[in-house]
Every structure is written in structure tokens, then in C-alpha cells.
């Protein structure tokens, strides 16, 4: 038996569910903090877990280069290596296929690229990507895909989507089924509903434990992203988790949950925490602004994180202006707590059947 997923409540298109892996039970909708290089930046594993997170995301490309998947496997796998006893989802390296375009060559077999670290030559095929993720011990493996830049000509998006479909078949064949572990396919197709439909049909035919929607939040704008989700999400199986990759801002998450998405990841809350930007229930706050220098109030009086219960805005402003590491740690903790709390609130709203009202109130407050 692989991973298990059950929907426990519905509210319109939105779903409340539970995803069971080898390492934990994950309540959905869920936001997954990004632990790119085997760590959530500026956080301890214990601190990440204290926010309520039970699954983090690791990066196949970066861990392959440093310290190496084989080394991590020898040391007991990624869970033990990073001291994270809960679930791990690893991406396939597909995003780096796009973001490192100047360093790579794409062919039917896979991607050949030069390391951004030392210029060494590497090949990433669907089979190698899956093998790396299995060496890491990932609970959820992602099939290798090509994420098409936006904007791109229709013909280029179509060709990329077809390549992703062929790579998905090879990824699925390479994946070794085992209890508590699963593999997700990735629906591509840019902003074109017909290509998204064809991609979804191919992924469903192949048969995955979950389905991701990739290739969004790369410049198309929120309205277009929601339009793509409106066309794509209803095509996906009701009994499998749905994962929107690389998204996003709080309002993006609320809108996507309303459309039936169950899982998210994004570097935004951690990256923002390191640049003095905090997400609060009263809007986004830039702690570098001078108006916070003499403010004794907490960052968010409704938040129970250490930054909000133990420190003033004035102190957080001081830390950010002084470049102190503690500022990054506290604001990252706060942002991850905010995202986790947002998910808790949406799960409760789905159970009550009030998510539409929650979404409207959230948009008005923003």
C-alpha cells in the first residue's frame, strides 16, 4: 500500500482531507515549508514542527549536487540527516530545468546541465530523478517534468507538455512502490485549457498517487492562474491529493483552496522572513520601515508565535536594520506560523461550510 488519502469534508469545490505517509498523518489543505538544501532556512527542525508543519519540501537538484544523494542514503536518508521525523516531499528538479536554462540542454533522454556550484557536468533523466528521491527516502516523489517559461508560444508549450508526459511514464515505471510512499504526476500546459486537459488525461492514464498542477505563479498573474485552475482541477481524480506547486501569496492559497487544491509549497514566507517582511492578519508589514522604530506593540496580537508573544515591533525593526540573524529567525518563524494558522482556519471553515464567507472576509481585510 502506498500513501493514503481521504476527503473528510467538502465545501463547494474545497476539500478537507487527510494524507497518510510512512512518517505522518498530514491534515489538508496544507502548506509545506521549503527545506531546499535539507534545512528550512533560519529554522531548526523543532521550530518548524512547532508551527504545526508535518511535511516539508526538499530539492532534488540541490541535494544531488551537495552533499549528494548517495552520501545522504549512506547516512540514513534525508529524514535522519536533517533530523526531521515527519514527512518529506521532494521535487524532481524540473523547476531548475527552467530556472537554469542558460546552463542546460534538454533532450528526449533528459536534461544535461553544468552545476551552478563548480561547473561540473551532470545528467538528470526521469529514472535518475526518481532514483535520487528514493535514495533520499522521500515520502512523496515527484515525476520529472519540464516547466515551460511564461510567456511561451503555444507550439513550444505543447511540445514541452508532451515531453513531460513521456517523462512521466518513465518516472512512474522507475518508481518502486512501497508502503507509505507515493509518486505524483505533474500536469503542465501553460495557460492553455486544451493542453491542460490533454496533460491531465495523460497523467491519469499513467496512474499516480497524487496530481500536481505545475507551471503556474511564474508571471501569468493571479487572475490567469485562477482561470487555469478552474479549467484543470475538476479534471483531476476526486480520491487523490491535488498539489499546486510553488504557490504562493496568502490570497493565492485561499483562492486555490476554494478551487479544490489540497497542497502548497513556496519559498515566499521564509524568503520574506529573511528580508524583514511579515504576513499578518492586518496585512503585510515591512519591519525595515522607520515607523516601527518606537512601536512597542506586537507584530500580530492574534498570533502565538515567539516573535509576536515575546518581542515588540520596535525590537524586530532594530534586528532587521542591524542585520542580526535573530531577526531572520523570528520573522521566518512568524511567517510559517501565519501560513500554518491560515491552513487551520481554512480547514475549519470547510468543515463548517463557510469557506466562501471566509474567503470574502479575507479578501476584504487584505
Do 13 and 33 fall within a single domain?
yes
Q: Quote the domain boundaries for residue 100.
A: 4-266
pLDDT per position as a tens digit, 102-149: 788 999 999 998 888 999 999 999 999 999 999 999 999 999 999 889
Residue 8: alpha-carbon gap to chain centroid: 22
341 flagged as catalytic: no
Examine the domain organization and report whether 298 and 243 are in the same domain: no
91 vs 7: CA distance, rounded Å: 24
C-alpha–C-alpha distance, residues 362 and 366, integer Å = 6
b/e burial code for range 100-111 (CB count within 10 A of at least 16 → b) = beebbeeeeebb
Same domain assignment for residues 44 and 120? yes
Q: Among 266, 282, 314, where does a domain finish? A: 266
Band (pLDDT 50/70/90 cuts) for residue 314 is very high
Task: For residue 345, tell me if it sits in a domain.
Answer: no
Backbone angles phi, psi at 272, to 5 degrees: -65, -40
* Active-site residue (options: 91, 145, 209, 300): 91
CATH of the domain at 74: 3.20.20.105
113 shares a domain with 8: yes
> Measuring CA to CA, which residue among 267, 287, 268 is closest to residue 277?
287
Same domain, yes or no, for 178 and 217? Answer: yes
Confidence of residue 58 (pLDDT cuts 50, 70, 90): very high
Band the pLDDT of 96: cuts 50, 70, 90: confident
At residue 321 the predicted structure's pLDDT band, cuts being 50, 70 and 90, is very high
Strands 87-90, 55-58: pairing kind: parallel
> What's the whole-number mean pLDDT along residues 331-341?
98
Please indicate, yes or no, whether residues 296 and 200 belong to a single structural domain of this protein.
no
**pLDDT band, residue 164 (cuts 50/70/90):** very high
Instruction: Judge whether 352 lies within some domain.
Output: no
Query: Are 284 and 225 part of one and the same domain?
Result: no
In a domain, 302, yes or no: yes
Q: DSSP letters of 267-310?
A: SHHHHHHTTTEEEETTEEEETTSGGGTT--S-S-TT--SHHHHH
241-279 per-position pLDDT tens digit: 999 999 999 999 999 999 999 999 999 999 999 999 999
Residue 95's pLDDT band, with cuts at 50, 70 and 90, is confident
Cβ contact 236:242 at 8 Å: yes
| pLDDT at res. 365 | 87
Residue 190 lies in a domain: yes
Specify whether 99 is located in the same domain as 225: yes
265 counts as catalytic: yes
Give per-residue pLDDT as tens, 62-77. 999 999 999 999 999 9
Is 101 part of a structural domain of the chain?
Answer: yes
Does pLDDT of 211 surpass 70? yes
Quote the distance between the C-alpha of residue 306 and its chain's center.
24
| Average pLDDT value for residue range 184-192 | 98
Q: Is residue 348 part of a domain?
A: no
Give me the number of domains the chain comprises.
Answer: 2
Q: Which helix (H) or strand (E) holds 24?
A: none
Give pLDDT, residue 97. Answer: 67
Co-location of 168 and 136 in the same domain: yes
Q: Which of 209, 252, 265, 300 is catalytic?
A: 265
What percent of the chain clears pLDDT 70, i.e. is strictly above it? Answer: 99
- Measured distance CA(281)–CA(303) in Å, rounded: 9
> Is 219 contained in some domain?
yes
249 and 325 together in one domain: no
Average pLDDT over residues 285-307: 98
Is 342 within the bounds of a domain?
A: no
* 257, 280: one domain: no
161 and 298 housed in the same domain: no
Cell, residue 142: 515527484
| Average pLDDT, integer, range 210-237 | 97
Amino acid at each position: 500500500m502506498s500513501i493514503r488519502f481521504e476527503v473528510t469534508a467538502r465545501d463547494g469545490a474545497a476539500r478537507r482531507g487527510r494524507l497518510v505517509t510512512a512518517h505522518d498523518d498530514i491534515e489538508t489543505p496544507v502548506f509545506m515549508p521549503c527545506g531546499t538544501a535539507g534545512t528550512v532556512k533560519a529554522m531548526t527542525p523543532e521550530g518548524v514542527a512547532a508551527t504545526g508543519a508535518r511535511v516539508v519540501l526538499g530539492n532534488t537538484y540541490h541535494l544531488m549536487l551537495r552533499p549528494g544523494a548517495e552520501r545522504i542514503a549512506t547516512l540514513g536518508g534525508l529524514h535522519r540527516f536533517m533530523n526531521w521525523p515527519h514527512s518529506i516531499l521532494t521535487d524532481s528538479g524540473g523547476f531548475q530545468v527552467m530556472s537554469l536554462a542558460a546552463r542546460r540542454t534538454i533532450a528526449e533522454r533528459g536534461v544535461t546541465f553544468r552545476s551552478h556550484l563548480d561547473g561540473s557536468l551532470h545528467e538528470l533523466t526521469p529514472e535518475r530523478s526518481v532514483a535520487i528521491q528514493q535514495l533520499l527516502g522521500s515520502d512523496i516523489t515527484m515525476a520529472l517534468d519540464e516547466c515551460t517559461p511564461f510567456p511561451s508560444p503555444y507550439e513550444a508549450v505543447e511540445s514541452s507538455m508532451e515531453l513531460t508526459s513521456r517523462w512521466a511514464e518513465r518516472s512512474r515505471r522507475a518508481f518502486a512502490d512501497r508502503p507509505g510512499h507515493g509518486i505524483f504526476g505533474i500536469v503542465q500546459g501553460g495557460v492553455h485549457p486544451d493542453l491542460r486537459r490533454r496533460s491531465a488525461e495523460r497523467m491519469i492514464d499513467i496512474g499516480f498517487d497524487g496530481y500536481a498542477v505545475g507551471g503556474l505563479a511564474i508571471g501569468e498573474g493571479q487572475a490567469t492562474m485562477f482561470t487555469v485552475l478552474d479549467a484543470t482541477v475538476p479534471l483531476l481524480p476526486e480520491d487523490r491529493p491535488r498539489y499546486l506547486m510553488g504557490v504562493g501569496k496568502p490570497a493565492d492559497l485561499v483562492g486555490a483552496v476554494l478551487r479544490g487544491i489540497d497542497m502548497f509549497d513556496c519559498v515566499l514566507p521564509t524568503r520574506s522572513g529573511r528580508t524583514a517582511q511579515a504576513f499578518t492578519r492586518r496585512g503585510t508589514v515591512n519591519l525595515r520601515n522607520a515607523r516601527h522604530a518606537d512601536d512597542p506593540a506586537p507584530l500580530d496580537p492574534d498570533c502565538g508565535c515567539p516573535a509576536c508573544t515575546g518581542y515588540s515591533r520596535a525590537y524586530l525593526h532594530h534586528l532587521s536594520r542591524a542585520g542580526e540573524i535573530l531577526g531572520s529567525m523570528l520573522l521566518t518563524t512568524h511567517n510559517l506560523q501565519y501560513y500554518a494558522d491560515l491552513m487551520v482556519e481554512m480547514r475549519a471553515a470547510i468543515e463548517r461550510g463557510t469557506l466562501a464567507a471566509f474567503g470574502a472576509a479575507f479578501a476584504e481585510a487584505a
